[in-house]
Amino acid sequence: PKLRVGQFVGGGLASIWLNGRTLTLSCTNDTTLASLNDSGTLVRNGTATVTWGGGTFSGSAVLNGGAFHVYPNLAGCTNVTVNSGATLSWQWNSSGLPPRLVLNGNGYNENGALNGHNLSNGSIPITGEVVVASAATVIRSGGVQDLTFTGNLYGPGALTLTGGGRFHVARAGRWQLRQ
């Protein structure tokens, strides 16, 4: 069974338990999802920003449009795919990205397929596998000093890294850079 949500009334939802189901969020107004829990699949469509505040989500996510702003740790997710026209934006828990991240495109409103911001720890370690499936942009902003890829970084697409500070690929394993 699938759950489909078009618009949230009153600015957001408190908590959702997926229990192995697929949740499709198709929002055109900014909204907040306070808690997403259990395994399943999250599909994010639409043109607005959805802010996710926490929970125990352990499934996969496909971001097709808009911005998905994440405060909690995404390390419990198995896979997050960010397609052209979508942005995965995160802050605070910088080490909590999923074990597999697939990037495509320049993001929602050209804000990058992946956008790390307002982090005060001075460094963002990206420890999982990053697949650049097509040309993609990663943007760093707001207080971040370094961005370090310590997992596998590869794919057929070109990766554009923007923002101040330094970018590192610090792994002896599989990585591929293209000009």
Over the stretch 81-124, which tens digit does the pLDDT of each residue have? 999 999 998 765 545 678 899 999 998 888 888 887 655 556 66
Q: Quick one: pLDDT band at residue 174, thresholds 50, 70, 90? A: low
Using one digit for the tens of pLDDT, what is the confidence trace for 126-152? 778 889 999 998 877 665 567 777 778
The angle subtended at Cα 105 by Cα 56 and Cα 70, nearest 5°, is 25
pTM for this one? 0.85
Range from 6-15, 101-110, 158-167 that averages highest in pLDDT? 101-110
pLDDT at 179: 44
Q: Which residue in the block uniquely carries the two structure tokens 């970084």? A: 153
Max CA distance (Å), the chain:
49
Please answer whether residues 55 and 76 qualify as being in contact, where contact means their C-beta atoms are separated by less than 8 angstroms: no
Residue 15 has pLDDT above 70, yes or no: yes
Q: Is the pLDDT of residue 2 over 60?
A: no
C-beta contacts of 40-46 below 8 A and 24+ residues apart: 42/18, 44/68, 44/86
